[in-house]
Amino acid sequence: MTTVIFIFVTLLAAALQAAVPTFASTGYAPLPFLLGVVIYYALMHRPSRMLQAAVLIGLLDDSLGQMPLGFSSFCYATICLVVARFRDAMTVRSWITQAFLGATANFATTFFTWLLLAKDGELHWPIHWLLFKFAGSFVNGALLVPVIFAALFKLDNMLGHTHDAEEAHPL
């Protein structure tokens, strides 16, 4: 994707993440539109571009809510580094891989964000609500990330961007 397309996709994902309501049955866990873009970049682009995407999207994600700046960037960058490390061992275009990464990455982001906020004494969530939020983030990630990945992959192909080995893997 070019920079213009990255900006468009990121702003669209941010608008969707801010506009789509959350549900009590998922512990009010937001749908991970921005995380889907991060995972797409982690699987399909070189490390420098994927880390730029992780940091910028993380800052935007933190700005959408009342999160201290940098918490999501840290989580997204860590996720990108782990995915990049094992990318060669994965079938990146499989929806099962994408669902697994979406579920675990969204759960991990929610869990580590909770840890970072709890250590400062900023959160006092009841345990039952916390379990709903963790389970909801897991399910939301598993369901939404493959859809986002497919849409971004189709957009890339429609614009003539090919995913060859030089672009998709580390140097």
Can you state the percent helix, strand and coil of the chain, rounding each to 5?
75, 0, 25
Report pTM.
0.90
The two structure tokens encoding residue 70: 């940098």
Residue 62 and residue 167: Cα distance in Å, rounded?
A: 29
Under DSSP, is residue 125 helix (H, G, I), strand (E, B) or coil?
coil
What ranges do the domains of the chain cover?
33-168
Quick one: pLDDT at residue 162?
Answer: 63
Give, for all 171 residues of the chain, the pLDDT tens digit: 578 889 999 999 999 999 999 988 888 899 999 999 999 999 998 888 899 999 999 999 999 888 899 999 999 999 999 999 999 899 988 999 999 999 999 999 999 999 988 888 877 778 888 899 999 999 999 999 999 999 999 998 888 876 643 344 443
Cβ–Cβ < 8 Å for 47, 166: no
Q: Which helix (H) or strand (E) holds 136?
A: helix 127-158
pLDDT digit string, tens, across residues 120-146: 887 777 888 889 999 999 999 999 999
Look-up: residue for tokens 């960037």? 73
